[in-house]
Structure 1
Amino acid sequence: MNLTLASLGEILWVLGIVAWTVIRYPFERRARRVRVVDNRRSPSDMCGLVMAVLGMAVIPFVYLATDWPAAADYPARAWAVGAGALLFFGAVWLFRRTHKELGKNWSISLEIRDKHQLVSGGPYALIRHPMYTSFLLMALGQAFLLSNWIAGLAGLVGFAFLFFLRVDKEERMMMDSFGPTYRDYMDRTKRLIPYLY
């Protein structure tokens, strides 16, 4: 088998998505058993989720399965595949850490669960939304691993929709639930990138 750099990038991307799915699955199962006490799902929230799934999963999978749109391909570079692998590995590691810290508080959408607690340990000690940070790292990794302008960059577009349609609403929900405690937490942390934003 003649493994090209482009093929290696694609394989690494698929392995990252498989790891992401394996990490998330048990938390989705457990979350179904914990009662939701405040549900803030909205059409814009669902739009953000759909756009994220399209950009970070559907479009890349279509590209890998059909090679469409091949006209947007460009030559893979070793440094890009290496950078993409590091970014994706970092994303999966952070994704796992966020799930572990959240435990029963985790939700796929804007929900407060029964006996919900404010999590401020682990990666949450530095940033309020480390799961979004992991998505950003995944999207950047995808851009380097998939040597196609559309499939590669679709993840960043999907991430942008998810982040900008949800993060303000999520923080409002947390303020409503935890009041001054969450305000204090906001004062000592950044949103997405430690020490910067």
Structure 2
Amino acid sequence: MITRLILQTVIWLTAMGALLFGAAGSLAWPAAWWYLIELGGLSLWLGLWLARHDPGLLAERLAPFVQAQQSRWDRLFMMGVALAWCGWLIVMGLDAMRFRWSAPFPVWLVSFGSLCVFLCLFLCCFVFQANSYAAPVVKIQTSRGHKVIDTGPYAHVRHPMYGAALLLLAGTPLLLGSWWGLAFVPVMVIGIGWRAVREERVLADQLDGYTAYMARVRYRFVPFVW
């Protein structure tokens, strides 16, 4: 499984690099290199941690993002996310490097973007520690004894991984130096919010105790916000 983790990470980073540097028209983009190194290194660290502490969840995380057990709407959503992510990387490469529509970002803002990326993956570790059913697709994992999780970060928000993802969405264009990339973030956040609402309908309908959990934990992503 570790071999698969490393292989998928390398393929994923190679594809992202091809989109970023292809759109930029140059390999001389230190911010993009650091982004790939940071994201890849943290992802491998998190995957290796899962391999030791929860191999079942790692297997779920490495599974295809389109699966037969998913609802049709979630399969379409995940395919849309993949396309949107690729387009987003291309836009940021065109903006930050090829055409330089955005003025160079100050070092402190780029550093803040890097910190956001780090915090996203760091917080995901706490999510995985609390929830062994945190698969990337919306489905009930009956064979793994799927149950409601209300400890750790789930005691405060119903979708802590989505909350952590907001940091990645904001940090990526800041690190790469693209205002155009940042302009697309609200649209992506709305998309994640839409999926969270649909996901909750599935869980409330098919997972015992989830409706009561929703009544206890009011907020979805960020405490006292939403």
TM-score of Structure 1 vs Structure 2, range by shorter chain: 0.7 to 0.9
CA shift in 2, pair 1:73/1:46, >3 Å: farther
**Within 5 A, what are the aligned runs for 1:44-193?**
45-56=74-85, 59-60=88-89, 63-64=92-93, 70-103=99-132, 105-114=133-142, 115-164=145-194, 166-179=195-208, 181-189=209-217, 190-193=219-222
Q: Deviations over 1:107-161 (max 9, x none)?
A: 2211010210111111111000011111111001113112123344445543432
Identity of aligned residues (%): 22
Please report how far the alpha carbon of residue 63 of structure 1 lies from its aligned counterpart in structure 2 after TM superposition: 4.8
CA shift in 2, pair 1:11/1:81, >3 Å: same
The separation in 2 between residues aligned to 1:155 and 1:13, in whole angstroms, is 17
SS in 2 for 1:112: coil
Given the two structures, how large is their TM-score scaled by the length of structure 1? 0.75
Letter in 2 for 1:135: A
The separation in 1 between residues aligned to 2:92 and 2:77, in whole angstroms, is 21
The separation in 1 between residues aligned to 2:189 and 2:32, in whole angstroms, is 19
Q: Which of 5, 18, 32 lines up with 2:40 in the alignment? A: 18
Q: Which has the higher contact order (CA 8 A, sep 6+)?
A: 1
Count of residues in Structure 1 that have an aligned counterpart in Structure 2: 184
Conserved 8 A contact 2:117-2:172: yes
Conserved 8 A contact 1:127-1:193: yes
Letter in 2 for 1:143: P
Please report how far the alpha carbon of residue 68 of structure 1 lies from its aligned counterpart in structure 2 after TM superposition: 6.4
The separation in 2 between residues aligned to 1:24 and 1:58, in whole angstroms, is 26
Unaligned ranges ≥5, structure 1? 1-5
The separation in 2 between residues aligned to 1:167 and 1:81, in whole angstroms, is 29
Unaligned ranges ≥5, structure 2? 1-27, 52-56
